[in-house]
Amino acid sequence: MATPQQHEHFRVSFPAEHVIQVTLDRPEKLNCINKPTSREIAKVWEQLDEDENLWVGIITGSRRAFCTGADLEEWNQMAKSGIVNDMTAPGLAGLPRRSGKKPIIAAINGITMGGGFEMVANCDLIVASSSAIFALPEVKRGIAPVAGCLPRLTSTIGLQRTTDLVLTGRSVSAQVLYEWGFVNRLVDPSADVAAAAVELAQELCKNSPDSLIVGRQGIRMSWETGNVEEAVSNLEKEWYPKLIGGSNFAEGLQAFVDKSPPRWVNSKL
């Protein structure tokens, strides 16, 4: 297993086979992310997609917060200098507008606001402590959440709920977002939410890494285009040949026939 890495405002670890985890670690600023940190974390997701031995990513936070978004003190200094903050893809910590190849699980341990919420809105699965709080308070600071979450949230939780969150800036609980279909799994506040995310990642890793990639692509295509037939056609033309051409396709079928556990190999997709 690879060696953990310590960066100035986050840690990279490998908590299970095929799994890479980013832990935001700037508790004195509620894990807000400045631009240098954002660029460094984006490189971790590039590593996830490029390293055949890595199948699933996790992002979580330390102590009270998951992430409170961008560093507004940095923004303030940029504004005073006449610098317009860059909102191009893939966005804060490489997440709000990431397309990517492999799934990322958000493990929400606490306060999740602004850009932190925008990051989570584009993750593939969300595990949250039932005590976690979410908000998009940009409207209260003369800002707007334009990094990518508005169309994503509208698609995921609906027009009226998204409008409520964005135009009031109010906080909502993880329980509410679970009921709205945004959070996949709730964890008791006394439990380790990151450990729960690792368990979910291991559940994913029992399956073919090729299928994880192609299944995710199909979901993303339908989410992004909003056109079912277009998504199905593109998946069948672009990805299905790659899937059946890989050794894991044959392995899965043979293992079923033999009534034995499949022996997956790292994906070449």
Supply the residues annotated as catalytic: 118, 138
Pairing of the two strands 5-6 and 10-16: antiparallel
Smallest Cα–Cα separation from 10: which of 36, 126, 19? 36
- Structure-token pair, residue 197: 């995310």
- C-beta neighbour count of 35 within 10 angstroms: 15
What does the DSSP assignment read for 191-228? Answer: S-HHHHHHHHHHHHTTS-HHHHHHHHHHHHHHHHH--H
* C-beta separation of 27 from 62 below 8 A: yes
Beta-sheet strands, E only, within the chain: 5-6, 10-16, 19-24, 56-61, 65-67, 104-108, 111-113, 125-129, 133-135, 171-173, 185-187
